[in-house]
Amino acid sequence: MPGGTIVQRWQPVRRVGLYVPGGKAVYPSSVVMNVVAAQVAGVASIALASPAQAAHGGSVHPVILGAAGLLGVDEVYAMGGAGAIGAFAHGVPDLGLEPVDVVTGPGNIYVAAAKRVVRGVTGIDSEAGTTEILVIADAHADPRLVAADLVSQAEHDEMAASVLVTDSPELARAVDAEVEALAATTGHSARVGQALTGPQSAILVVDDLVTAARYSDAYGPEHLSVQTANPDALLAHLHSAGAIFLGPHSPVSLGDYLAGSNHVLPTGGQARFGSGLGAYTFLRPQQVVRYDADALREAEPMIVALSRAEDLPAHGDAVTARLTP
């Protein structure tokens, strides 16, 4: 409408709290994934939390401190788990910790549950909980590579989920054998073995790859690896995954560390409606409306008619008052 404008502008949130897990491993990569996205968005105030380490005098792990320092983050707290999420959301005056507008970062089931609790008090990225990988593979896949991917995510946590869905019974048997051998020799064999034998992990044989894609969409995995003869053809059938890795040369480890995608991803089926962390996580679209008198005069009869239809006459009166001498 001439004389009327609506502008959508994107504004960064003022302050964020970034969580970096540290219970079973050290994650400088999570520092990068969180901090860089917030910095690109233009967030002015960044705080970071990671669990205290007994081996380092109750401080944050020095590798985490080093990564934060390289990125210019100097507000770092030695606190972990659900308590860290609550502290970010509500603030801790005795520590000088001000509440944040958004909390992001991966964690275990307790971190994910805490983020669900504080949502509404503060924004969150997603409930990025215990790691999940789902591999769709056919007879063309290398069972050794499929097994390596399943084991790589199982080493995160005893509750990590590693799932293979295939239309090839022969591949299923071969991968099962490879996984058993690899799990026995990998660096965290006890943890990996527990994850792979838990109820959250499985090898499923289905009739065809389209059925495999339907299963994956129902699951909504954090990481989805497609190792088939024609992964691009299957991609059209895949709609719900935190991140998708196509082909035998695209391991999930690429996304974990170096590809440029973000490894803070929705878990627990939330990929059906959520997405991974990015600069957009820290941005808010705002609508700015400006009309001049001529544009408002043209809009008046429509607004008055709608306000009467809704039995909210004062809405129309607020327009008419501006046009009546």
Q: Which residues are catalytic?
A: 222-223
CA 245 from centre of chain: 16
Distance CA 216, CA 194 (A): 23
Strand blocks (E) in 138-262: 161-166, 202-205, 223-227, 243-246
Q: Which of 114, 104, 115 is nearest to 278 (CA)?
A: 104
Distance CA 15, CA 267 (A): 25
Dig out the tokens for 270 from the structure. 């939330």
SS3 56: helix
Burial class (CB in 10 A: 0-12, 13-18, 19+), 293: exposed
Residue 285: its H or E element:
strand 283-291
Question: What type of residue is 31?
Answer: V
Provide the 10 A C-beta neighbour count for residue 322. Answer: 12
Residue 77: its H or E element:
strand 76-78
Give whole-number Cα distances, 88 to 99, 104, 204, in Å. Answer: 5, 10, 41
Distance CA 91, CA 121 (A): 11
Asked whether the CA dihedral 250, 255, 259, 262 is positive or negative, the reply is positive
SS3 17: strand
